[in-house]
Structure 1
Amino acid sequence: MLDRYDDSGRLRYTGRTTTLGAAVRHALADQLRTGDAGHPWTGRTFTAGWASWEQLSVHLVVPEVVAEVAVDLARDSAGLNEIDPGWAPEGWEIGWQRAYRLLLAHVQAGGALPAGPGDVVVQGEDLGVWIAGQVAGWDRLVPVQQYLLETVGVYPDGVGVPVVPARRSQDELWERNMTAARQFHAREGHLQVPRHHREGVDGELLGLGSFVANARRRAAKLSPERRDALNALGMRW
């Protein structure tokens, strides 16, 4: 299924593909992430086809992948605005999408959210500075932008953004998050951490929910030692 954002940032259904071959389905699946309860279409139903009453079974994903669609004519931006003002939501710059995709790739690769300016710079984009700007202007973001940021652990007022005194190596960040995981497990008796949960360790709030979710997504890439450490806490893969 395909969708677009209208000029108020609302996610709109626009169409669907024909049946995809197995190879294409597998390749596409690698680009998608499962949406959570905050997805704009949670609770919505769709029919299996035009003029059909049969309900379509859908699996909601985070609406972040841009698709190119083959059409039989092309128009400039003025023509597109005349046909559909929602093709490029007002106030949603291409630069925002670029920075978000860089942040998403960084998090999916196992990186932690930047501790501050200069902590994580990707392709010339200082992600710490960018995140600070999004948090400061949270109320000016459209709902879908807020939702996308929350899926990678960025929340209003800096909630979920780790505040640490200095830059740490990936091994140090892993051990810090594992300390939070062990603390949570000792208190709760399990490691079923809510996606947005933050665990306080020595006065520092860590995005433990994001850490566990990222570890689960990257299970195949984790070292045996790291998998064993999580398994010892009852990790559900």
Structure 2
Amino acid sequence: MIWDTADTAFAENLAAARAYYADAGTLAAPRHATALDKPVGQWLTNLRRPGGLGKDPERAARRAEQLAAIDPDWNPGALGWTIDWQRHYTSLRVLLAGGAGLEEIVPGVTHRGDDIGRWLARQVRDWTRLNPEQQHRLGEAGVKPAAQPQKASARSGPKTGAEKGSDAFTRGVAALQQYIAREGKTVVGRQHVEELPDGTFLRLGVFLSNQKSRRDRLSEQQLAALAELGYDWAV
């Protein structure tokens, strides 16, 4: 007897998630990932969206506990970073555990199809943009910030348009994460203004509308960050 088809389907996908974790060491699976003939990557993406664990609070909490029992970091967005970051970080730990030295993990060194060397170089370069927990985890792996982190100086010229755009996008995503975590929805009113932890304000509704209208000009990483927050138009 199948008393609840939803729970049965969840249990089947959870078994696939365990199998994926046993192989990859993380549940930060890309969308196309499969395990036990199940589309586990897309399934996990759906679960991370607001309300993805179900409308019933007790069922949602139980499911979250089951996922956390497999991988405590199954939902990196709640920690302040992306699925992409979590997957690369896990690969870095795998490479180090396998005997590689940090000095050997240079651009071009890959793991499971991801260029971990290039990602690592970016973490070292952009250390100050990482949150404290990201810095702590990388520090435990022996990673240190660049000796001379990028910093505006009296001699340096103004930021390029691309650099300004990247900073603005990062602030926008942080504001969206904060808004979604608080409101439990992805719909943002056009006139909504979000206050960030540093006391600054961002016209979140306008930001989101602008990203949607120019999605064909966003980078793959930017689209992935928006898709992970639940915006299907970024897929």
**TM-score under structure 1 normalisation?**
0.31
Higher helix share: 2
TM-score normalised according to structure 2 size: 0.31
